[in-house]
A = this chain, B = another copy of it.
Amino acid sequence: MSAIPDEVPKLCEACESRHKGMCGALQVEQLAILARIAHKREAKSGAELLAEAEQADVYANVLSGVVKLTKTLSDGRQQIVGLQFAPDFLGRPFRKESHLNAEAATDVVLCTFPTAALERMIQETPELERQLYRQVLNDLDEARDWMVTLGRKTASEKVASFLLLIARNIDPDSDAECASITFDLPLTRADIADFLGLTIETVSRQLTRLRTDKIISIKNNRCITVPNLERLATRAGN
């Protein structure tokens, strides 16, 4: 066995997980151990990740891009039940996955590791388990927030809420300020519709309404500019 390096692995140097994600709970030595079995994986937009067979074997951190978690009814109706951004964790220690699909919404880079190795590490490092626990609590909060959006908001408010969600994810700090912000939508209209429980036509109509109301401007169908976040927030309900 070769020696385990006593410094931050190269793989991890630029990784957000070390700061804001799961790996923040690890000592340098543990990080090194994990890095040795970890495996960077790139996936094109639309690729199935952690498909059912695979799910049992591998966990992953999102390094870049957006992953959508979807559920589908037998007749094909689909609902996105979660969006995972870097440095979110993907997978379900100690638990069978409920029927849930993970798909790359954009091109995605993942840092994957075998489930067995991670679960062993969890046993040794309570802080790691706590970190994962925290992430699940966070996911639960987001899911419940979104339930309010799905159940009680109008189409117009839903679309505004979605844009706010993305904008805040791009720049978590610009929240309070009335700053202008520009970003590319990580989702197609179809995905947005599946996230909001709407049809693509309704999403499109609400977006053009926001545009004619000067709340946003749209370039190339994907690139959104919000000149004033406060005004967008007004449209989001809450």
- Using a CB–CB cutoff of 8 Å, the interface residues on chain A facing chain B are 69, 71, 73-75, 77-79, 81-82, 92, 94-95, 98, 100, 123, 126, 129-130, 132-134, 136-137, 139-141, 143-148, 150-153, 196-197, 237-238
Please name 6 further chain A to chain B contacts, defined as beta carbons within 8 Å, in addition to the given A98-B145, A136-B140, A150-B197, sorted by A numbering: A79-B147, A94-B134, A100-B144, A129-B129, A129-B133, A132-B133
Q: How far is the CA of A69 from the CA of B98 in the complex (A)?
A: 22
A74 to B234, CA, bound (A): 11
Q: Give every chain B residue within 8 A of A94 (Cβ-Cβ).
A: 130, 133-134, 137
Q: Are A73 and B152 in contact (CB under 8 A)?
A: yes
Residue of B nearest to A136 (CB): B136
Count this chain's copies in the assembly.
2
Contact pick for A147, options B81, B133, B152, CB 8 Å: B81
In the complex, the chain B residue whose C-beta lies closest to that of A151 is: B197
B133 near A77 with CB under 8 A, answer no
A134 touching B79 in the complex, CB below 8 Å, given contacts A150-B147, A151-B196: no
- Closest B residue to A132 by CB, please name it: B133
Find out whether the CB atom of B150 lies under 8 angstroms from the CB atom of A71: no
> In whole angstroms, how far apart are the Cα atoms of A238 and B152 in the complex?
21
Contacts of A140 in B (CB 8 A): 136, 139-140, 143
Q: Could you say which residues of chain B place their CB within 8 Å of the CB of A123?
A: 126
A79 to B92, CA, bound (A): 27
